[in-house]
Structure 1
Amino acid sequence: MNTLDNVAAFPITGIQIALNIAVAVICGFAISFVYRNTYRGPGYSIAFANAIVLLTMICALVIMTIGSNVARAFGLVGAMSIIRFRTAVKDTADIVYVFFALAIGMAAGGGYYNIAFTGTACVSIVIYLTAWATRSVLHKQEYLLQVSYEANGDEVPAHVSLLRHYCRTHQVINTRSLGEDGERLEVAYYVKLRDKASGERFVRELRQASGVSHVNLYFDEEQF
């Protein structure tokens, strides 16, 4: 049975390192596959699906590096504390997948292959079951809208009136500054259109709105 004390007492071999990384990569691809096949939200990201694989592998490397060395663990915490993560998580499901990948990466890095494979299989089955269960509930259409515009003090942006006209509901999920002066902003919304066929006209009018420089409307069906 592997323990952190054993890792410290007996240096890990090259074969063990390669095997731990291989297990992490296999499980990472499995988690990514589950994400690609079960996620139906408007915030779906191919980049995130690929990042899951890398996150699992990197976590395994971190666990192998730290072992039972407390100084290394504190050094890692110190290094991470100076990093500023600016990417906002748009969906709680993304957080679940991040923790899923971290947990499996820790198991693989510690040499607990049974935990890594069994954990990946069990959690994946539960995700598939919950995804299947939600398909029998109310179906609705949502979109992810990104708008970049020049802020004008406390005045309401010109595109807001178009949101009220074309959308049944709109919810701000992320706001970030695109310039050092803070006058140029990018806002992400979850929107539900009143008329599905009006999407192109909606985007065209948004681009013509005062101060708006860039518009993206991502179409994706989501089942609840």
Structure 2
Amino acid sequence: MEDTLNFKDIFKKSMLELDAFKNVSWVEIFWGLLISFLLGMFIYFVYQRCFRGVVYSHNYNVSFVLMTLITTLIIMTISTNIVLSLGMVGALSIVRFRTAVKDPLDIVYMFWAISVGIATGAKLYPIAIFGSLFIALVVFLLSRRKVKTAPFLLILHYEEALADEGIKTALRKMKYTLKSKTIRKQMTELTVELRINADNTAFVQSISEIPGVADVALVSYNGDYAP
């Protein structure tokens, strides 16, 4: 019976009375948030320097800093009480994020910010700091890796009766993948994917000189295509 009463007392103090908040150290909160902010700014700097997408978003990059701080606050809060932990899980389960993330690397940075926030909120500062340094080193190494060929989209508008054979002859000299072909009366729109060196674009001028070709466009291609 005594063990039962002791267990009830412990259960009552830890889960119902929230005594853990009476012993909160403001110094630990300050240092935790400061380290979280500095690591969030470190992620901000790495993302800015290593971004290789089409359009850089400053607001999206700032969200990594805020995400790190908010995650740190959440972990600091729920680590003090089991009831709050369960309540926080239930509250976050109803949140739905509908913003489309086009670049898979953006999701990696998002998980990096959340992981740093969790480690910092749990006072595992060495893991947060050295883990971030190691991840940043890997990101820098991979982002500096030179790719011999890059993907491009070649978009042609031409009269099929006049230019079809000439375009086929020109494309046979390159490796290409057909993306779309649209015929509008006499005009045809052809879109193909090419992998070429960025400085090897002389063929665009040659194709534009084929009789029947109205215009030629070469566009940098990041993998997303909507016909």
TM-score interval w.r.t. the shorter chain? 0.5 to 0.7
Q: How many residues are paired up?
A: 152
Matched, 1:15 2:27: yes
Q: What's the CA shift for 1:113?
A: 1.7
Aligned to 1:208: none
Gaps of 5+ in 1: 1-7, 143-159, 170-193, 200-219
* 1:79-113 residue CA offsets vs partner (Å, 9 max, x unmatched): 12222321122121111111100111111112222
1:41·1:221 contact (CA, 8 Å) conserved in 2? no
Paired with 2:189 and 2:101, the residues of 1 have a C-alpha distance of: 28
Q: What's the CA shift for 1:9?
A: 9.1
Matched, 1:77 2:101: no
Secondary structure (helix, strand or coil) at the match of 1:61 reads helix
Q: What's the CA shift for 1:70?
A: 2.4
Aligned to 1:61: 73
Q: What's the CA shift for 1:10?
A: 8.0
Work out which of the residue numbers 180, 186, 192 in structure 2 matches 1:168. 192
Aligned to 1:195: 217
Secondary structure (helix, strand or coil) at the match of 2:37 reads helix
Paired with 2:62 and 2:124, the residues of 1 have a C-alpha distance of: 24
Instruction: Mark the CA change 1:20 to 1:139 in structure 2 (over 3 Å): closer, same or farther.
Output: same
The aligned runs of 1:37-52 (5 Å cut-off) are 37-42=49-54, 44-52=56-64
Q: What's the CA shift for 1:161?
A: 7.7
Percent pairwise identity: 33
Aligned-CA RMSD value: 3.0
Paired with 1:78 and 1:9, the residues of 2 have a C-alpha distance of: 21
Q: What's the CA shift for 1:56?
A: 0.5
Paired with 1:66 and 1:110, the residues of 2 have a C-alpha distance of: 10
Instruction: Mark the CA change 1:129 to 1:16 in structure 2 (over 3 Å): closer, same or farther.
Output: same
Aligned to 2:147: 136
* 1:89-141 residue CA offsets vs partner (Å, 9 max, x unmatched): 212111111110011111111222211111111000000011112x2332345
Larger radius of gyration: 2
- Higher RCO (C-alpha 8 Å, min separation 6): 1
Matched, 1:98 2:120: no
* 1:162-205 residue CA offsets vs partner (Å, 9 max, x unmatched): 9x937435xxxxxxxxxxxxxxxxxxxxxxxx624xx8xxxxxx
Instruction: Mark the CA change 1:53 to 1:166 in structure 2 (over 3 Å): closer, same or farther.
Output: farther
2:151·2:221 contact (CA, 8 Å) conserved in 1? yes
Matched, 1:125 2:125: no
Secondary structure (helix, strand or coil) at the match of 2:23 reads coil
Paired with 1:76 and 1:54, the residues of 2 have a C-alpha distance of: 18
Matched, 1:24 2:36: yes
Q: What's the CA shift for 1:64?
A: 0.4
Paired with 1:161 and 1:17, the residues of 2 have a C-alpha distance of: 65
Gaps of 5+ in 2: 1-19, 154-181, 194-215, 223-227
2:64·2:109 contact (CA, 8 Å) conserved in 1? yes
TM-score (norm 2): 0.58
